[in-house]
């Protein structure tokens, strides 16, 4: 049906050429009243157009891209998140995590959440066995949590999860009846917690979809180095989503989702002392992973984000103002 | 299952930070043996990362973007092309068309194909009536086709299509039994062709999906100014996909898909002369659209594309080589 509403205030845009198309799109989008969305669109459009101009993107390539992105949506559902996998494999998820949860020494670095976290993990006591997998190599995980001043942080909600000895997470088992390989602990008065996990093994990310085809075309392997996931949550502290990677994994330096950081690669040892074994309820000879987590406070993280945002805007030659704690250029506020 | 294939040649990548993540992604993607794909990925990753860094993209915004793109794929099917609509409304389709079909005077400019072209239009004779719509205002369309030296071009396949007097294309009619408002002609020995169309009216692009919600959030209207589509195809000439826009449409300067170019805006006149009316089989007083199309040869278009590509690569400070007629940086060939 012919429309009735006629724009009146929009500055006229016409005579599109390869040279002025970008500014014409900006002009139309400048009608947006939300300054943050306006800024995001300005950058999206600029980057999309610059990409096409720099590469002289062919109609055939454009069409391949349109189909690729469409198929990613079509294969996705409540359990399969192919668009997140695309973001992961292009390093975007890792980058967004680093931007939103910046760290400075001595704080523990974060890494990608991944697609296998669930909300049905059960509370467990210190020393509990995380995994029912009989084929796995047992691993005692023994950790402390401190704040950046070195004080123990008690009562942190510690969400842990990992795959089994074949590299599968419980949610990948079609017959799953409940959580396995995951649990929730609380740090004690000394900021300590411990549990029995298994020595993690590498596993491939899903390769049967469009992202798998992309990795194949790029000559990339799909294998993540083995790791144990941790999510440390306590009011007043910046949420820490991270993972620990036992050193020596063949994929340690080529993680397809760019999650490995040197500070998160750990040397496993062995429980040698009978007294220690008894204290933590394991046998002598059990593999041992120890780690001291350091949390940033909310306030410390907010200040770091702000400082980094000001620097990033200056790099563009723009003065910054903040809108709901997020940066926008001063000229558009 | 744990993977067996172990990478050997890949330079080690580790200790990801916000600063070195981009180069680490490039390092992993540098395994790609196709130099053009490698170049495309290098630019995609650079732009995606720069976008996140410049905007300090929040986790919530990232998540909104992931969902938005996923939903675009999910609403798409063989008839609905929401990802193309996104490309259209961000000016990308128009830009890719301009890059792939560059024009220099006196050649006619191209514009977006749009989603309503079909392959079932029937051949029709000069003077045929394109549209069965009884409510429409008749329009005699009278055109010539020349090459850039001014010689008439005969036997060009001229594919024309347009919406009806309510702004709908035949494919939008659920009861469609065959083509209406579309047809295929051939230019005669003088490079001429003519047919009876209708005076086009504005119409909205589909607003009931994710792209519609985006336009609403941006405060943009969905209405395309009225136009008649043309596709001019002849061996040895660069395909011309274009449209003509009668002047004075309320949406002429704010087309949501950035298709209008000043050179494609036409002044309609009226058939005044009895002899002309008889010659073309219409009544005196019928609205008249005349246009002289000029086609570039394949060779002329290829040279222009190459010249533009070299310029675009120089702008990046890169030397260019060509791979299947598409540019790649010399250092990666």
Option in B53, B203, B253 nearest A14 (CB): B253
State the pLDDT at residue A4. 40
What percentage of chain B exceeds 90 in pLDDT?
A: 85
Answer whether the bond into residue B106 is a cis peptide, omega within 30°.
yes
Percent of chain A at pLDDT > 70 equals: 95
Say which residue, B324 or B332, is predicted with more confidence. B324
pLDDT digits (tens, 9 = 90+) for A67-113: 999 999 999 988 789 999 999 999 999 999 999 999 999 999 999 99
DSSP strands (E only) in chain A: 138-147, 157-161, 182-186, 192-198, 203-204, 223-224, 228-233, 240-246, 265-266, 269-270, 287-295, 320-323, 326-329
The separation between the first and the last C-alpha atoms of chain A, rounded to the nearest angstrom, is: 37
Residue listed under structure tokens 């695309």 = A86
Whose CA is closest to B236, among B188, B296, B298?
B298
What's the pLDDT band for A19 if we cut at 50, 70, 90? confident
A-chain residue closest to B316, CA distance: A54
Q: Is 90 exceeded by the pLDDT of residue B59? A: yes
B39: which chain A residues are within 8 Å (Cβ-Cβ)?
A: 55
Q: Is A193 helix (H, G, I), strand (E, B) or coil?
A: strand
B40-55 pLDDT, tens digit per residue, is 999 999 999 999 999 9
CA dist A50 and A57 (Å) reads 10
Residue-level pLDDT at B2: 38
Range of lowest pLDDT (A18-32, A225-239, A297-311): A18-32
**Minimum-distance CB partner of B7 among A12, A254, A259:** A254
- Sequence-distant (6+) residues with CB within 8 A of B102 are A18, B301, B304, B305, B308
Sign of the Cα torsion B274, B275, B276, B277 reads: positive
pLDDT at B35 over 60: yes
Look up residue B12 and give its two tokens.
Answer: 């080690």
Confidence of residue B6 (pLDDT cuts 50, 70, 90): very low
- Over residues B140-155, mean pLDDT: 98
- Mean pLDDT throughout A32-50? 97
pLDDT at A115: 83
What would the mean pLDDT of B169-194 be, rounded to a whole number? 93
- Whether A309 has a pLDDT exceeding 60, the answer reads yes
pLDDT value at residue A3: 42
- Distance of alpha carbon A197 from alpha carbon A291, whole angstroms: 14
Query: Are A100 and B16 a contacting pair at CB < 8 A?
Result: no
**Total residue count of chain B as it appears in this document:** 333
* Mean pLDDT (chain A, rounded): 93
Q: Which of B135, B165, B139 is nearest to B269 (CA)?
A: B139
DSSP state for residue B134 in the 8-state scheme: T
Instruction: Tell me which chain B residues have a C-beta less than 8 angstroms from the C-beta of A12.
Output: 253-254
Q: pLDDT at position B9, please?
A: 58
Q: Whole-number mean pLDDT of chain B?
A: 93
CB A28 within 8 A of CB B215: no
DSSP string of B90-126, one letter each residue: TTHHHHHHHHHS---TTSPPP----TT--S-PPB--T
pLDDT per residue as tens digits for the range B230-252: 999 999 999 999 999 999 999 99
Quick check: B95 and A18 CB within 8 A?
A: yes
pLDDT confidence of residue A331 = 78
Question: How close does chain B come to A17, measured CA to CA in Å?
Answer: 7
Q: Look at the block and give the residue holding tokens 């959030």.
A: B217
- The residues, ordered by sequence, that sit 6+ positions from A15 with a Cβ below 8 Å of its Cβ are B261, B262, B263
Q: A278 to each of A110, A140, A194, how far by Cα in Å?
A: 32, 12, 13
Interface probe with B: pick from A4, A43, A70, A172, most Cβ of B within 10 Å: A70
In order, the DSSP letters of B143-200 are EEEEETTS-B--S-EEEEE---TTS--GGG-TT--S--SEEEEE--TTSEEEEEEE--
Q: Is the pLDDT of residue A13 over 90?
A: no
Does pLDDT of B61 surpass 80? yes
Burial of residue A182 (number of CB atoms within 10 Å: 0-12, 13-18, 19+): buried
Number of A to B CB contacts under 8 A, please give it: 306
Q: Residue A333 above 60 pLDDT? A: no
Residue, of B14 and B268, whose pLDDT is higher: B268
Write the CA distances from A218 to A58, B23, B29, B39, B40, integer angstroms.
19, 16, 6, 11, 11
For the cut 60, the answer to whether the pLDDT of residue A277 exceeds it is yes
Are B169 and B140 in contact by the 8 Å Cβ rule? The answer is no
Looking at residue B10, its pLDDT comes to 63
How would residue A14 be classed by pLDDT, with cut points 50, 70 and 90? low
Would you tell me how many other CB atoms lie within 10 Å of the CB of residue A247?
11
What domains, with CATH codes, occur in chain B? Answer: 106-169+179-204+221-296 (2.60.130.10)
Percentage of chain A modeled with pLDDT above 90: 86
- Residue B273: pLDDT over 50: yes
| Rg over CA atoms, chain B | 24
* pLDDT tens digits for range B104-131: 999 999 999 988 899 999 999 999 999 8
Chain B CB contacts of A315 under 8 Å are 54
Answer whether the bond into residue B283 is a cis peptide, omega within 30°.
no
Chain A contact probe: residue of B56, B163, B261 with most A CBs at under 10 A = B56
Quote the CA–CA distance of B83 and B90 in Å, as a whole number: 11
Q: What mean pLDDT do residues B201-219 have?
A: 96
């Amino acid at each position: 049906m012919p429309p009735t509403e006629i724009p009146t205030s929009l500055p006229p845009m016409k005579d599109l050429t390869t040279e002025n198309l970008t500014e014409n799109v900006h002009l139309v989008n400048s009608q947006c009243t939300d300054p943050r969305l306006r800024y995001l669109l300005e950058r999206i459009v600029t980057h999309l157009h610059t990409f096409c101009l720099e590469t002289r993107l062919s109609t055939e390539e454009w069409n391949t891209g349109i189909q690729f992105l469409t198929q990613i949506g079509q294969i996705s559902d409540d359990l399969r998140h192919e668009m997140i996998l695309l973001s992961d494999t292009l390093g975007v998820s890792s980058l967004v995590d680093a931007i939103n949860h910046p760290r400075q020494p001595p704080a523990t670095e974060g890494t990608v959440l991944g697609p296998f976290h669930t909300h049905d993990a059960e509370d467990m006591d210190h020393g509990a066995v995380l995994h029912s997998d009989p084929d796995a190599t047992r691993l005692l995980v023994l950790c402390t949590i401190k704040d950046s001043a070195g004080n123990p942080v008690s009562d942190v909600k510690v969400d842990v999860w990992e795959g089994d000895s074949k590299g599968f997470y419980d949610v990948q088992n079609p017959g799953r009846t409940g959580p396995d390989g995951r649990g929730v602990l609380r740090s004690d008065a000394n900021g300590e917690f411990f549990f029995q996990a298994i020595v993690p093994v590498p596993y491939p990310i899903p390769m049967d979809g469009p992202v798998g085809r992309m990795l194949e075309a790029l000559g990339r392997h799909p294998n993540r180095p083995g790791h144990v996931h941790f999510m440390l949550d306590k009011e007043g502290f910046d949420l820490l989503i991270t993972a620990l990677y036992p050193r020596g994994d063949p994929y340690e330096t080529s993680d397809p989702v760019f999650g490995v950081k040197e500070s998160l690669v750990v040397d496993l040892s062995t429980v040698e002392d009978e007294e220690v074994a008894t204290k933590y309820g394991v046998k002598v000879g059990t593999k041992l992973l120890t780690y001291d987590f350091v949390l940033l406070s909310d306030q410390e993280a907010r200040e770091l984000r702000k400082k980094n945002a000001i620097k990033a805007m200056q790099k563009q030659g723009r003065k910054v103002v903040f809108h709901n704690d997020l940066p926008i250029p001063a000229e558009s506020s």
